[in-house]
Chain A
Amino acid sequence: MAAVAGSETIRRGRAPGRVGNAIFRGVSSSAGITIVVLLGLVAAFLVYRAVPALLATREELADVGFMRGQSLLGYVAPLAFGTVLSSVIALVVAVPLSIGIALFISHYAPRRLAQGLGYLVDLLAAIPSVIFGLWGLQFLQPLVGPLFQWLSDHMGWFPPFSGYVGPAKNIMTAGLVLAVMILPIITATIREVFLQTPRLHEEASLALGATRWEMIRQAVLPFGRSGIISAAMLGMGRALGETMAVLMVLAPGFAMNLYVLRPGQHQSIAANIANQFPEAGALGADVLIATGLFLFLLTFAVNLAARWVINRRAEFSGAN
């Protein structure tokens, strides 16, 4: 009792570090709020500069050289199509490969080796995109050229594969480079989820006589399904916004078709901005910023959806 009475006599004002506490708390909170404000600013500035392009009449837009007399929608649509097409190609290649790599690291490689192998894949993420562009031109393009020629010759009855013209500066090659670039983030996410598979599920499956692959199908893949989906979406977000690989590898065009082996058919939003922005006039810059705003919203939505899938899993999974 005496001790309690004694503690009441300590005045709060003399608590040590009160001023420091307040300052530090204030500084770190404002840093957190700055992040929110910053993202708001990004959206605000893009909208502010995009509005003139959105409100411009057709005659005004006709003066913008690179639009070749199209309306804003007519200009953005092929770009958006090319962006999505290249990302889808990248995903179709990268996701199965990533699942394989993640499985290899989490369930096949010897435990001591696994960490080093994971680091090797992470190293891919550290390589600058411009160097991936060089690699795509110098290594991948000559490598896939004969393959595409063969595809076009023998599978040409399937329209998307028809009409290959070398060198392979088509959206397929760009998609392959993108696939390599998004491999690390997809693999890292899937690997994390696979490693969290409840050990007891795996052991129960093995104890019932399952082979390793049957165990993976029964225990690991069902557990990791949402992880795979969100990883694919994160990769999609990356691929949508990647500039340099597409800019360097792809011969641009403004068509909307699925001829993935023909050069000069497609272009992505990001690569188009990088191509035109440095020389664009005032309204031209506005138009490009409007396309950039569209890209921003698209990736924002994809990333948000990916996070939503991940978080939903974290909340409702009974296993962890």
Chain B
Amino acid sequence: MTAVSVPPKPVRRRRRLPAYAPWAVLAGALGVGALLSLLSGTFTFTGALLFGALVHVVAITTLSAVVEGRRWATDRLATTLVTAAFVLAAIPLVSLVVLVLRFGMERFSWTFLNDDMVGIFGASVEGGVFHAIIGTLWVTGLCSLVAIPLGILTAVYLVEYARPGPLKRAITVLVDVMTGIPSIVAGLFAATLFMVVVGPQYKAGVMGAVALALLMTPVVVRSVEEMLRLVPNELREAAYALGVPKWLTVVKVVLRTAIAGITTGVMIAIARVIGETAPLLLTVGIVANVNWNAFDGRIATLPVYVFRQYAQGGASVDRAWAGALTLILIVMLLNLVARLVSRYFSPKGAR
């Protein structure tokens, strides 16, 4: 009674959508989205895009489910959502840059960069950021003076000297944790440190520098450590084989090889702390005039300037945006130069 086995059906070729299908659907969906936005009352560009995106997700999934089957439909849905996530993430960056450029350009000028805020009241359209730029240079400069050597030496210790053990583990973990210290806590620390050591009324740029150094050091350690690990061991061994002492090997071979990467890392770290606002709010405050002395008296800095000007409202808001533009230009310039350094000066083969 054995049943004669039925020969398998011939495999049907799976039908797939053509490569241009998603794009065609997207174009159609955007059209429908614009229509929907128009029907819902007032036409807005955002509304059209939002509706269009929703229509696209539904349409491409349904179409794929009908033509290609459930599994491919899921795949299409995932592809669409993943791409959408990326596009969504680009919105803040693009809108932020556009916003800062648009509002910032109204007041941004050479005189704005060369003017301070002495004698500027209320609706006055004059005034500038010169004093804040000087303050930011002071604070960031002092902070770098501490954080860069400390960071590089710690990284050298971790990579070249530290033996596996509790101390190395502790430093690695603490550096990791330190990168997560809230900036406001760093500010509180600097404020209390000077309150206790110098006196409660003391305000100076150096307080801000201490807070920023606390935030910058771990960033420097991390990036330098990464760079030092990229230096091939053969270089170290070649130096030892020639009888070069270890410290000279580190200075003249390892650090020399990694110098481009280290420069990049340091510049990105500077760009990171130059925009820190909260710790400076607690420590250095704001003034209207140029303070050339970072060790005595309040000092204006760009981020705090932006914050305070915006909070004042009225004509000051324009100054805040122009200040924000100045700040973002500095940060982007640092980032750009950092990338260029790593591209043109890193040894061949390291990247």
Question: Which A residues are closer than 8 A to B by beta carbons?
Answer: 15-18, 20-21, 23-25, 27-29, 31-36, 38-39, 41-42, 45-46, 48-49, 96-97, 99-101, 103-105, 108-109, 117, 119-121, 123-135, 137-139, 143, 180, 183, 187, 211-214, 216, 234, 237-238, 240-244, 247-248, 270, 273-274, 277-278, 282, 285, 288-289, 292, 295-296, 299-300, 302-304, 307
| Cβ–Cβ contact A307 & B328, under 8 A | no
B304 CB to closest chain A CB, in angstroms? Answer: 8
B303: which of A130, A139, A270, A292 is its contact (CB, 8 Å)?
Answer: A130
- Chain B minimum-CB-distance residue to A137: B310
Whether, in the assembled complex, B237 has its beta carbon less than 8 Å from a beta carbon of chain A, the answer is no
Cβ contacts under 8 Å, B300 to chain A: none
Q: If the complex has contacts A28-B157, A32-B162, A126-B268, are A289 and B277 also in contact, measured as CB distance less than 8 A?
A: no
| Cβ–Cβ contact B278 & A213, under 8 A | no
Q: If the complex has contacts A36-B174, A103-B82, A126-B271, are A143 and B46 also in contact, measured as CB distance less than 8 A?
A: yes
Whether, in the assembled complex, B293 has its beta carbon less than 8 Å from a beta carbon of chain A, the answer is no
| Cβ–Cβ contact A126 & B217, under 8 A | no
Complex: A278 Cα to B150 Cα, angstroms: 30
| Cβ–Cβ contact A130 & B192, under 8 A | no
Complex: A29 Cα to B171 Cα, angstroms: 11
A130: which of B74, B150, B250, B324 is its contact (CB, 8 Å)?
Answer: B324
Main secondary structure of the interface of A (DSSP, over half): helix
B88 CB to closest chain A CB, in angstroms? Answer: 6
| Cβ–Cβ contact B173 & A273, under 8 A | no
Cβ contacts under 8 Å, A289 to chain B: 188, 192
A24 CB to closest chain B CB, in angstroms? Answer: 4
Cβ contacts under 8 Å, B262 to chain A: none
Cβ contacts under 8 Å, A285 to chain B: 195
| Cβ–Cβ contact B160 & A134, under 8 A | no
A38 CB to closest chain B CB, in angstroms? Answer: 7
- Chain B minimum-CB-distance residue to A275: B281
A274: which of B180, B278, B320, B331 is its contact (CB, 8 Å)?
Answer: B278
Q: If the complex has contacts A42-B214, A211-B71, are A100 and B328 also in contact, measured as CB distance less than 8 A?
A: no
| Cβ–Cβ contact A17 & B154, under 8 A | no
B61 CB to closest chain A CB, in angstroms? Answer: 12
Whether, in the assembled complex, B106 has its beta carbon less than 8 Å from a beta carbon of chain A, the answer is no
Q: If the complex has contacts A36-B170, A38-B214, A244-B277, are A127 and B180 also in contact, measured as CB distance less than 8 A?
A: no
Q: List 16 A-B contacts (CB under 8 A).
A: A31-B153, A36-B171, A45-B193, A49-B192, A99-B85, A119-B339, A123-B335, A124-B92, A126-B332, A127-B275, A183-B89, A248-B307, A270-B182, A273-B282, A288-B188, A303-B176
Query: How many residues of chain B get a CB closer than 8 Å to chain A's CBs?
Result: 95
Q: If the complex has contacts A126-B335, A128-B331, A292-B188, are A97 and B89 also in contact, measured as CB distance less than 8 A?
A: yes
| Cβ–Cβ contact A282 & B200, under 8 A | yes
Q: If the complex has contacts A124-B93, A133-B307, are A35 and B174 also in contact, measured as CB distance less than 8 A?
A: yes
Q: If the complex has contacts A16-B245, A131-B306, are A292 and B184 also in contact, measured as CB distance less than 8 A?
A: yes
Which B92-141 residues sit within 8 Å CB-CB of chain A? 92-93, 95-96, 99-100, 103
Cβ contacts under 8 Å, B170 to chain A: 36
A303 CB to closest chain B CB, in angstroms? Answer: 4
Q: If the complex has contacts A212-B75, A244-B307, A270-B184, are A127 and B174 also in contact, measured as CB distance less than 8 A?
A: no
A131: which of B150, B157, B328 is its contact (CB, 8 Å)?
Answer: B328
Complex: A130 Cα to B271 Cα, angstroms: 14
| Cβ–Cβ contact B181 & A42, under 8 A | yes
Q: If the complex has contacts A23-B247, A31-B153, A243-B184, are A45 and B200 also in contact, measured as CB distance less than 8 A?
A: no
A269 CB to closest chain B CB, in angstroms? Answer: 8
A8 CB to closest chain B CB, in angstroms? Answer: 17
B204 CB to closest chain A CB, in angstroms? Answer: 15
Question: Which of A23, A187, A273, A282 gathers the greatest number of chain B CB atoms within 10 Å?
Answer: A273
Complex: A289 Cα to B193 Cα, angstroms: 12
10 nearest CB pairs, A to B: A241-B182, A17-B245, A128-B275, A100-B85, A31-B153, A24-B247, A243-B278, A213-B78, A303-B180, A211-B75
